[in-house]
Amino acid sequence: MDPQQFIVPPGLTIAPEDDPYGPYVALSRRQWADLADTIPWTLDSDTLARLRGLGDPTDHAEVLEVYHPLTQLLNLYWERTNALFSSSHDFLGLNDKQVPFVIGVAGSVAVGKSTTARLLQELLARGPRRPKVELITTDGFLYPNHLLEAMGIAHRKGFPESYDRAALLQFVIDVKSGKSDVTAPVYSHLIYDIVPDERIVIGEPDILIVEGLNVLQPARRRSDGTTALAVSDFFDFTVYVDARTSFIRQWYIDRFFALRATAFRDPKSFFRRYAEMSEAEALSTAGTFWDTINGPNLELNIRPTRGRATAILRKGENHAVTWVRIRKV
C-alpha cells in the first residue's frame, strides 16, 4: 500500500459530503480494511485489554480492520522518510544518525485517542523491523495546579494556555534532533497534578508518538508579527480521532460514572468526593464539567485542528470507527 494510491483509484467510493478535489479521500471501514495486506500477527486478548481505555470497546475486529491498515501506512511513511533522510544527507555529505519519526495523535477528552496511541505503539513495535517505539502524553506538560491557580486558569485545565508549550516544544525538538535521554514531567490522574521530582526518560526511539488534546495546534503569532514554532511542525504523520459532539459527551459521562466506581474510590484520589455523590448529583456534575470545560475546549481549540491531520478516524455512536479519511495532498 503506497501513500500515492490515495489519489482516488478507479471504483473507489468517496463519501457524498466530500469534495473530490479536496485534500482527503474518505474510505468506509470496509474499503479501508481491504487496503491492508495480510499481517501475520495479532494482539492476544490480554494485550488488547491492557491497551484499551476504561469503557473502550475496541475489539479484535477493529484492530484488524482499522489499526492494521493504519500501521501499514505508517510503516510506509516511516520507511520513505528514512530513505529521504539518507538520500538528502548523502547529497549534503553529512553522516548524521537517523532521527526519530514523530507521530501526533489528537482528539477530544473521552474520544479514545489514548487507546489509539497505545495500539499504534504496540502494533508499530511488532513491525518487520521491530522499531523502538516510545509514547508520551502531553498531560505531563500541564502547568502544576498551584501555577494554574496563580495564573487564574485552573478552570481551563486542558485548554492550550494551561500547558507549558515552550517546554513541550523543546522536548519534541530534542527528541526529533536525536538527543539521547530526553526527559519529561510525569502527570498523575490520581492526584490530578504533576508528580514532583519525577521524570520519564525517552531514549533515542525510532518512532515517537505524542498524544494530547492540542498537539495539532498551529504556530502562534507573536506580538511583533513573527510566527513561533509549533509542536506540530515536527510531526511526520498525524492522527485525529473524531466523533459527533453528542456521542463524545455521553462517553465522557459514562466514563465519569465508571471512574466513580473505581479510581475515584481510592483514598488518594483528587476526585474522591465525587464517588460519594448521589447518581443525580454525579450526572449533573459530569454534565457541567463537559458543558463548561471539555465541550468548549473541543469546539474552540481541538476540532478546528482536525483538518491539519494526515488521518482522521471517525467513530459512530457505539465507539467503533465507521470511516477513515486520509490526506492525499
Q: What is the CATH number of the domain that holds 296?
A: 3.40.50.300
Inform me whether the pLDDT recorded for 56 exceeds 70. yes
Residue 108 marked ligand-binding: yes
**What pLDDT, on the 0 to 100 scale, is given for residue 23?**
86
Contacts of 267 (CB under 8 A, 6+ apart): none
Percent of residues, the chain, with pLDDT higher than 90 = 76
Inform me whether the pLDDT recorded for 65 exceeds 80. yes
Residue 41's pLDDT band, with cuts at 50, 70 and 90, is: low
**250-272 pLDDT tens trace:** 999 999 999 998 999 999 999 99
Inform me whether the pLDDT recorded for 184 exceeds 80. yes
Residue 157 marked ligand-binding: no
Degrees (nearest 5) of the Cα angle 51, 56, 58? 70
> What is the C-alpha to C-alpha distance for residues 270 and 85, in angstroms, rounded to an integer?
46
**230-254 pLDDT tens trace:** 999 999 999 999 999 999 999 999 9
Number of domains the chain is built from: 1
Q: Which of 27-41, 131-145, 160-174 has the lowest mean pLDDT?
A: 27-41
Contacts of 90 (CB under 8 A, 6+ apart): none
Residue 212 marked ligand-binding: no
**216-232 pLDDT tens trace:** 999 888 878 888 899 99
**What pLDDT, on the 0 to 100 scale, is given for residue 4?**
38
Beta-bridge mates of residue 324: 27, 313
Name residue 260's amino acid: R
> What is the C-alpha to C-alpha distance for residues 255 and 314, in angstroms, rounded to an integer?
19
For residue 125, give its domain range.
Answer: 3-327
- Average pLDDT (288-302) is 97
Retrieve residue 152's grid coordinates.
Answer: 487564574
Cell numbers 491557580 label which residue? 149
> What is the C-alpha to C-alpha distance for residues 153 and 328, in angstroms, rounded to an integer?
39
**160-183 pLDDT tens trace:** 999 999 999 999 999 999 898 999
Calculate the average pLDDT of the chain.
Answer: 90
Inform me whether the pLDDT recorded for 72 exceeds 50. yes
Instruction: Tell me which H or E stretch contains 61.
Output: helix 60-62
**What pLDDT, on the 0 to 100 scale, is given for residue 241?**
98
**What pLDDT, on the 0 to 100 scale, is given for residue 251?**
97
> What is the C-alpha to C-alpha distance for residues 200 and 202, in angstroms, rounded to an integer?
7
Retrieve residue 319's grid coordinates.
Answer: 465507539
Contact 213, 109 (CB under 8 A): yes
Contact 15, 29 (CB under 8 A): no
Contacts of 7 (CB under 8 A, 6+ apart): 25, 328
Percent of residues, the chain, with pLDDT higher than 70 = 92
Residue 225 marked ligand-binding: no
Name residue 79's amino acid: E
**75-97 pLDDT tens trace:** 999 999 989 988 998 898 888 88
Determine how β-strand 133-137 pairs with β-strand 311-315.
Answer: unpaired
Contacts of 4 (CB under 8 A, 6+ apart): none
**What pLDDT, on the 0 to 100 scale, is given for residue 39?**
66
- Average pLDDT (110-138) is 95
- Average pLDDT (49-58) is 89
Contacts of 233 (CB under 8 A, 6+ apart): 219
Determine how β-strand 101-107 pairs with β-strand 237-242.
Answer: parallel
Residue 284 marked ligand-binding: no
Tell me the whole-structure pTM to 2 decimals. 0.91
Q: Which residues of 96-135 are buried (b: 16+ CB within 10 A; e: fewer)?
A: eeebbbbbbbbbbbbbbbbbbbbbbbbbbbbbeeebebbb
Residue 162 marked ligand-binding: no
Inform me whether the pLDDT recorded for 46 exceeds 70. yes
Residue 172 marked ligand-binding: no
Residue 87 marked ligand-binding: no
